[in-house]
Amino acid sequence: TDSSAQRITLMLPLQLEGFIQDSLALNQQYVQGNRLLRIALDFYTGVLMAQDYAKSYGLDVSLDVLDTQAKKSVVDSLLGVYDFSQSDMVIGPFLPANVLAVAEHLKRSDLPVVSPLSRPNGPVPDNLVQTIPDAASMRRALMDYIKNNKQERKMLFVGDADAPGLAAMRGQWPKVKVLLPREQGYIDPDDILPQL
């Protein structure tokens, strides 16, 4: 494919079969009642914005959008009928099992498959690009950032008592204040000020 023209296949759980033709009110209810669909629509909107941005720089990006319906059986069916040979990259599906199936199916062609919102556990094919780092990497990055930028500021750790980073945080900075959720599982704003 020409380096200036990129063809991206989006595999999103748009669940189009749930929309009712000519019924705006029912469709709004459908979207509001479906968290995964709202996330998919927000993500799709972001991709369209990125496409416009790329075009403003003279990059030609075309999108093919496939509705996975958030179902493994639909993903399997799409893998059997859709021609990925014209794609430069696949983004999605969202769900870990589905993105693994797509990456596994396309690994022979070395087509990059981007997992945009989930992180599959265990070994993954070489063509799978994971955008979500593992928890240990995020914890290390946060600790490094604090170490390099703390100066003499007060620190307040907000989280669960069994959070893996709490022990490391206390070991590195013994004066760190810790604010844990109340028994009901929430943090009251009135609990924060006395800690500062």
In DSSP notation, 134-190 reads PHHHHHHHHHHHHHHH-TT---EEES-TT-HHHHHHHHH-TT-EEEPPPTTS---GG
Q: What is the pLDDT of residue 191?
A: 82
Mean pLDDT over all residues of the chain?
86
Q: What is the pLDDT of residue 18?
A: 77
Among candidates 56, 125, 64, which has minimal Cα distance to 91? 64
Q: What is the pLDDT of residue 177?
A: 82
Is the four-CA dihedral 158, 160, 161, 166 of positive or negative sign?
negative
Tokens of 115: 């997992």
> Top-level CATH class of 5-130?
alpha beta
Q: What is the pLDDT of residue 122?
A: 78
Does 60 score more than 70 pLDDT?
yes
Q: What is the pLDDT of residue 167?
A: 77
Q: What is the pLDDT of residue 1?
A: 45
CA angle 83, 118, 104 (to 5 degrees): 40
Give 16-58 pLDDT, tens digit per residue: 787 777 777 777 877 788 788 899 999 999 999 999 999 999 9
CA 142 to chain centre: 19
CA angle 102, 106, 111 (to 5 degrees): 110
Q: What is the pLDDT of residue 42?
A: 94
What percent of the chain is modeled with pLDDT above 70? 95
Q: What is the pLDDT of residue 117?
A: 84
Tokens of 116: 């945009």
Whether the pTM exceeds 0.75: the reply is no
pLDDT band at 82, cuts 50/70/90? very high
Q: Which of 95-104, 126-135, 146-155 has the highest mean pLDDT?
A: 95-104
pLDDT band at 3, cuts 50/70/90? low
Q: What is the pLDDT of residue 76?
A: 97
Q: What is the pLDDT of residue 26?
A: 78
Place of tokens 């023209």: 5
Tokens of 160: 């669960």
3-state class (DSSP) for residue 55: helix
What percent of the chain is modeled with pLDDT above 90? 44
| b/e 26-35 (16+ beta carbons within 10 angstroms → b) | eeeeebeebe
Domain ranges of the chain: 5-130, 135-195
Q: How far apart are CA 51 and CA 62, in angstroms?
A: 8
DSSP per-residue codes, 59-106: -EEEEEEEE-TT-HHHHHHHHHH--GGG-SEEE--SSHHHHHHHHHHH
